[in-house]
Each structure stands twice: as structure tokens, then as C-alpha cells.
Structure 1
Amino acid sequence: MATPNKIHLSINDTGVVHNKPQNEETAARTSELLQENHDKHHIFFNQDGFHNHIAHHLLTLYGLGAPTSVIEKQYKHNVDYQRPNMPVEDSIVEDMSNPEHFQKYLGKEKYYRDFLIFWQNEMEKSGWEDVLNKNLFEGGERANDLLTRMYAGFLHPLIHLGFGIEFKQPAIIAEALAQACIHDSWISPYLLKCEAASTSGTSDKILPQLIDEIRSNSKLSNAAHWEDGNKIRDGILKRAPDEMISIARQWNVSEDQIGAKTAEMISTAVYFTSAAQKPPKQVKFDFYYMHCVNASIFFPTFNAQTWLSAASKVRLLKFKAYIDLAMYASRHSPPLLLEEIALYTPKKLEKGDAEWPGLFQRLFEYPDDGHAVKLARAVRNAQSVSEEYEGKVEWDRVKGFMWEKIGNMVVDSVEDTGNNWVRSAGFEEAWTDFEDRPREAHL
């Protein structure tokens, strides 16, 4: 049984995307590897805050039906550069229980392991659902601070939380809470200001429409500079914060719209991530936009939680959309070229290689840190979630055969030469090292 201290995967809980069934041997071995990572490694593999993706990677592979040999191979590929956990100081863990002292440990990566033990202890007392409701969703300064930190670090704490809930692993949820605690809180004012200024009941604008407004706003589209260390924090929120909030606040969600609005968010994240191409350059996906897609997969799981109130589900979803819109603006709001998807010719048209099972199989063997297979799984989820709305809504920019073409673009792009990802797709500088390739769309 999975507990706040023990990872235990079940063959009955393999996530929201179904590809191949799992077996007890792989469940046991994957649990062992995740437990080793949990016990031994810091959530950052360096002091610059680069994230340990082992839990994301292994759970994605496990959920898609990868065999034990693949999961072991991918674990070995990424384990050597992880940092060891720091020693726990019992006095610090105890001090974190004092509400007046808790805040002084926030934002400091050296306290990751202390926070992890703290949250595990809290879950042992009252269960992970109660811990999340009390510490993320009950409102108030502390809960608001911790909830918004979930969206920091390019959504990594939120992604981690999603994996923990999707695969029913309280220990992974504890990792997510500890990870959120050691991230900075600079994103919090943006999210809370958007929420406070929300035009609830007075706007029915869809996300693709707001993306178009961002692109047409020259001050906002040019607010991020190539040399900015963080293009949201140092660009958008310093040079055009009012413009960003003015647009983002217009996306509304009522409690009776949660399902449809979730599908809109998921589909739109795939839209701006996959259509941000630069012909005739190689097909590549923006590294930062990709995280908006990879985080989107968890929202149907969030919505399915009976312990979570409808108001909390709305809040989770709106904050995610606020981040997506800011992320799009932060990369110089590139033009979105749907023809690059529609006219794309997969590179491997052999039987099965260009279909979802074949695409996942190719990614089982691809040696990265898990970003690619996470992206493909999230796109497949987006297709499943969006299909019932196709042709019935205004936001369905991606539809029909385009979904599987995007899956092929993901796999083909990482198997191609050069870097796996383009970083900041709206900047000319980002494409300097990528080759010009004739593609069918430009013949």
C-alpha cells in the first residue's frame, strides 16, 4: 500500500492515457526505483534549481506500459547527475510546525528534505487530501502563498503534484509540496492580481482569442528581452505587467463550465506549443511552452477528485491559464502556424511507427530526461479530452488528423539532429543553431 513514506505502484493505477497494460514485476521494480530516488536525491540536481525529473519520467513510462528493462535503462541514464539529499535536522522539522516560523524556511533549497519530512508527518496525521485542502485551498495568506508557489519553476511543482495524485502516491505528493516550498514566490502577485481583477460574468473570451490579443499588443509582445534571465519575471512582469494582467483576467470559468474550460485550456496549450514553428527551420518545440502542455494532462485528474471543491478546481484552472498566457507572451509571442501541423509529413511512415503505439515505443528507447515522452503522452491526452468538443466550440484550433501529426512532430523533432528543443521560439536568436530543412509545407 502506498503511504506518505512508501511508494507502491498498482497495475490498476496506470494513469489517464492507456497504451499497454502493466504487470506486477514492472510495478514492483518501478516502485523500488522511485523509492530510491525519493530517499536519496534532492529535487534539484544542481544549486541553480534544475529539476530532478526521475519521478516524472518513470511514472510516464510506467503508465504507458514500458517494460522493466526500459524503466531501468532510463533510470540509469539520469541517476548519475542527481544530487544527494541533505541531512535532516529534527529541530527544523519541528520548528516548521510553528505557523509563525514556517515562512522563514520558504524559498531555500537547503531545506527540501526537511520540508519533505514535515509534509510526510502532516499526511500521517490527517491524510494527504486533508493536507492539500488545508494548506493549498482553504484561502488565507499562507495557503495562497503555497498554492501559487505550485506554479513557480515553470510549473514543475504542479506537474509533480499531478503525478502524485494521478498515480495515487502520497510520497510523490509530499515531494511536490516540499518542492513548492523551496521555490521563489515571485509569480504569486501576478496570479493573485489576475484573480482579483477577474471579469467574471462579463467576458466570454476564449484562450486563442486572448493569445491573438497578446500578439497584437506590441508593448506586451516585446516586453521580454533575449538577455533576460527569466523572461516572465524580468521581462513581462517588469515591463508590461498591467497589459499582461488586463488580458489574462478576461478568461473566466464558472463551476458549471469546468469540464469544457479544462478542455479549452488543454487544447490551447497544445495549439500554441506545436504551432510555434519557424519555417524553413527544423521542426522543434519550445522548451518553455512544452511545460504548459506537460502540466495540462493532470487537470482531468484534479477535476475527478471528490475531496476537492468546485471552487478550488476553478481556481487551479484559472491560475494555469494565467501562466499559459504569460508564457506565450514571454517568448516574443511567435506567429502560430497551423499549416505547419496540417501539412507535416511524418518521417517514419512504416506500419505502426507513425501511430500512437509506435510513437510511444520509439520514446521508450529515446535517451532523454523524460520531457519528450511526457509531451507525447500529454498530446495524446489532449486529443482524448478535446474530441467530444470538436466542431462544436470556437477554440478547437487543433482537430482531427492534426493530433497524431503533432505526436509525430514531437518524436521526429527529438530524433532529428541538433538540440531537442528551441528555447524561446519567438526570438530570432533562438533558431540560430538549427538547420534549414525543406519540408512539404514549403515545396
Structure 2
Amino acid sequence: MPLARGVLNLPGITPQSRAYAQELLDRDFREHHCRYGPGFHNHLPHFLLAAYDLGAPPSVLNAIYAKDAKDLRPFELEGSNDLKVDRSNWKTHLGDDKAYAAYVAFFTNEVQSNGVAATIKAFVFSPSANEGEAKMLLRLIAGAAHPLIQIGYGLEFDNASLVISGLAQTAIHSDVIPELYTDILRDPSAPFLASSTPSLSLFAVLREFYASSVLVPVMPYDPDALLSKRRTDAFGDGSRAAEIVKIASLWTLPPSSPAEFWEEKLEEVLWAVILLLFGTSKPGRKYRLDFFVMHMVTSSIFLPAFFDKVLNGGTAEEGVYKAQLLQAFVRTTFAYLIMRGRPRLDAANIMHATPFPHPPSPTTPQSPKPNDPTVQEEAANPWMAIIASAIHAPEAHLPKTLRTLVYASQKYGLRQVGQVPGALDKDGKEVLPGLAVVDGSLFVRCAGVMMDVLGWVDYGQPEGNWDRSAMGWEDAWKND
């Protein structure tokens, strides 16, 4: 099946770019492992498809492949040739990096026999796939949600090979902080599934998260700590995991809810994760964008694809799966916030960014030169210059994040102040600082900030960096 267009449906995708992207994806699927080292993921297919969906021509796609492919490990790792996976032993090799090729062969057969949706439901969402130590839903969102991203790209672009490699990637990941998700996997009467409990909005749940005295950041701040160390420090005694479970369960998701309910919940997630990435810098300082929180933004765009192409039958069972996926996603987001020092959301700070971002040079073709220089900035469509520049980004995460921002703008860009779901309480007061001024212009403001932070490299700016300081700690800003 030919590669589909992505959800953005932007101009610029040609038959040539479509065929070229498909060829490079097929080559990557045949030749490369899904991780270029333990804990490090193959971003090549994500990079290719993000650039393709933004309108990159074949020459740019080829440059992306040439740059990223050289560091990837081979499809079959040394010592993996004798591994075989079938229905009788498919749980035996979970978490084993060397079993990737064997899982690809196994899931290829399953998808060919049963189809994409049925295979995902059987091996990711079903009780059998999550009983005992299997916990496939947890593996789906492990590794900064990269397995979810891989499958999500396959669903969105109708590419079965990406779904297959994503399922294999899910299988070889470990379940991380399993105590965060125990009730999701094993308790059919978990509070978040209750239909009789009025739900808080996700922003109201986030307010409870910030107010918790249990979820305070671990002190003292260690500027050199790796994520694994921050995870052990934060969740070693189990108290923070239990608190996150309690707070997240206030976001109730009754499985029998109608389609409009699930649409609103997906929208709540998108607003929340985007604001948590772009709205947690300190006022008066340069904007910072946390590397790990960013992955919750790049993965959030695929939640609708799971709903629309896998969990689309309207059954009670699929309603449970939707609720489990959203709860797992939110709890994972909360876990990353704790490991990043619980950075505080101040939405007004990002709303101070310009809604008319533009490249650094005022003489570029994207920047018009009207007679009145005071309206020059407002005279251009900022998305055109941002998208044109983003396809030349030197690393994958910028165009991946931009896709989520463009998607959010297309869906919610006309929201006015007060129309963001859950931003205001029943008395019209903002639930968290700054939410009272947020409207649909948020997404282009965020896109401009991202370009300024990471660099308009095709305009000569140096490449910038995602922030790894764990900026929730005050000491992370000492030398800013």
C-alpha cells in the first residue's frame, strides 16, 4: 500500500517525495534495529515522516537518511540468529534487545494474518497481553513513549511495516515504574473508570499535582544526574508513585462515554502537554524546552490515531482500552515532570511570546516589506516560514514537535480566551496561573519560541539545544 498523507495535509507533498519516503522507510525497516544502543532510539523513520509531512523534497529526505543511518545498528544483533518467537513463547523474550528481529518476524505474520488493528488490540491492550510480567501497555509508553510514536506513525501514514517494527520495539522495552500503572492493568473497578464520579478537568488534576506535598522534588539538586538516577531518587520508596495514582485517578474516564467525550479528553491532553513544555520557563529568562517533556508532545499527536484506527469499534472493551491508554499517558507525563523537578506552569509567560514569529533576517522572501514597517511583522503568515525552515532542522525532534503544534493549531487554533477545556473553573477563575489568557494563538507562539531556541539554521543561526538541566529545580537556573 502506498504511503498515505499525514494528518496535516499540507501542500508540498509530491508523488516523487511520497515514493522516495516509502523507499527509504522500507530500507530502514529491512536494515536497521529500532534502537541504536540501549536506551537510545532509531529516530530515522520519525524524522523522515515528519519532514515528508511538512513538505520536504526528495533531496532533503535523502540528506536525512544519509545523516542518521550511519549511526544505526544492524537489524539483527550479534547472537540473535537463533531466537524464534511464536504464539507459544512470545512473552519469553520481552525486554530482550536481541529479540527485535525475531519479534519483527512474529508480528509480521500476525499482521498479515489478522490485520493491524486486531494485532495491536491482542498484543498491547488485551488482558492477556498485560497479565503477569507481560505489561505490554507499559512497554508501549516506556522509553519516552518511542514505541507509541513508532506505531503511531504507522497508523497515521497507513504503513504496516512501522506498526510491525513498533510492536517489536514495544516488546523489547522494559516496563518502567510499574507501580504507577498496577490498577490500570489489573483492577476493572479502578476509580478512574468510575461513571458516577464527576471528573476534574486535566488542568484541575494538574493543580492537585502541583499542590501535593508528597510530590516535592528530591533535594539537593544534582546538575549531573542522569534520568535513571532521577527516576530512582524520585520513585524508589513508592510514595510518589502512589500519590500520582491517587491524583491522576481524579481524571475519570468512563468507558461507555460517547465519542464527543473522548474528543474533549484528547483535546485536554494536547493543551496540557504543549503548555507543560512551552509554559514552564521562568518569566524574564530565556525560554527553555525540556528534552523529556518534549517527548510527551511528540507522542500526543498519535493518541487520536489509536482511537480512530484501532479502538474505533465502539465496544465497552475498547472504551476500557481508551481509558487505560489516556491514564497511562497522563501518569507517564506526571512521572517525567517529577524527574524534571516539577517545573511550574505559568501559561501567561508563553502567551507573551509573539504570535507573529519570523526568521532573523528581515530581507528574506518569507518576510514582506510593506510601506509601513510597523505592520511588516503582521503581514506574513508565520507558519509558512516556520514550516519551510523546519524541514532543514539538523535533528528529528524539532519537526516532530512542530507537527504536533501545526496539528493543534489546525484543530484548536480558533479557540478564544475561556474556550480551552478545563482552563477556567465554574466561577470563571483560572485553574492554573495564566490559563485565563490562553487562546488558539498559543500554538504559533510556541512554534516561534521553538525556532528561536533551536535555531533557524537555514537562515544562518547556530543549532540550539533542548534543555536537559531538569529546570524545575531553582538551582538549575542559577547560571542562566
TM-score bracket, normalised by the shorter chain, equals 0.7 to 0.9
Q: Which amino acid aligns with 1:198?
A: P
Q: Does residue 32 of structure 2 align to residue 37 of structure 1?
A: no
Q: Secondary structure at the match of 1:45?
A: strand
| Equivalent in the alignment of 1:343 | 352
Match 1:326 to one of 320, 335, 354: 335
Q: Cα deviation per residue 1:24-79 (whole Å; 9 max; x = unaligned)? A: 11111111111111111111112x32001011111111112211111111222212
Question: Post-superposition shift, 1:401?
Answer: 2.2
Counterparts of 1:8-157 in structure 2, within 5 Å, are 8-9=2-3, 13-46=4-37, 48-86=38-76, 92-93=83-84, 96-99=85-88, 101-140=89-128, 142=130, 145-157=135-147
The equivalent residue for 1:374 is: 400
CA distance in 2, matches of 1:331, 1:89: 36
Cα separation, 2, equivalents of 1:156 and 1:107: 14
Q: State the alpha-carbon separation in 2 of the partners of residues 177 and 431 from structure 1.
A: 39
CA shift in 2, pair 1:229/1:285, >3 Å: closer
TM-score, normalising length from structure 1? 0.87
Structure 1 unpaired stretches of 5+: 2-7, 437-443
Q: How does 1:193-204 map to 2 (within 5 A)?
A: 193=183, 196=187, 197-199=190-192, 200=194, 201-204=196-199
Change (3 A) 1:262 1:66: same
Structure 1 residues 431 and 85, CA gap change in structure 2 (3 angstroms): farther
Closer/same/farther in 2, CA of residues 203 and 323 from structure 1, 3 Å limit: farther
Q: Give the drift of 1:258.
A: 0.6
Q: Measure, in 2, the Cα distance between the counterparts of 1:363 and 1:394.
A: 31
**Residue equivalent to 1:243:** 243
SS at match of 2:146: helix
Q: What is the CA distance between 1:228 and its match in structure 2? A: 5.6
Match of 1:401 among 429, 438, 441: 441
Distance in 2 between residues matched to 1:166 and 1:207, nearest whole Å: 25
RMSD: 2.6
Could you tell me the percent identity over the aligned residues? 26
Q: Which residue of 2 aligns with 1:5?
A: none
Which residue does the alignment assign to 1:441?
none
In 1, the alpha carbon distance for the partners of 2:381 and 2:414 equals 23
Aligned-pair CA distance for 1:353: 7.4
**Structure 2 counterpart of 1:82, which letter?**
L
Contact 1:194 1:249 in 2 (8 A): no
Question: Counterparts of 1:91 and 1:81 in 2: how far apart (Å)?
Answer: 25
Distance 1:354 1:417 in 2: 24
Counterpart-to-counterpart distance in 2, 1:374 and 1:187:
26
Tell whether the 8 Å contact from 1:186 to 1:233 is kept in structure 2 after alignment. no
Unaligned runs of at least 5 residues, structure 2:
369-378, 425-434, 456-460
Task: Give TM-score scaled by structure 2 length.
Answer: 0.81
Quote how far apart the aligned CAs of 1:279 are. Answer: 4.2
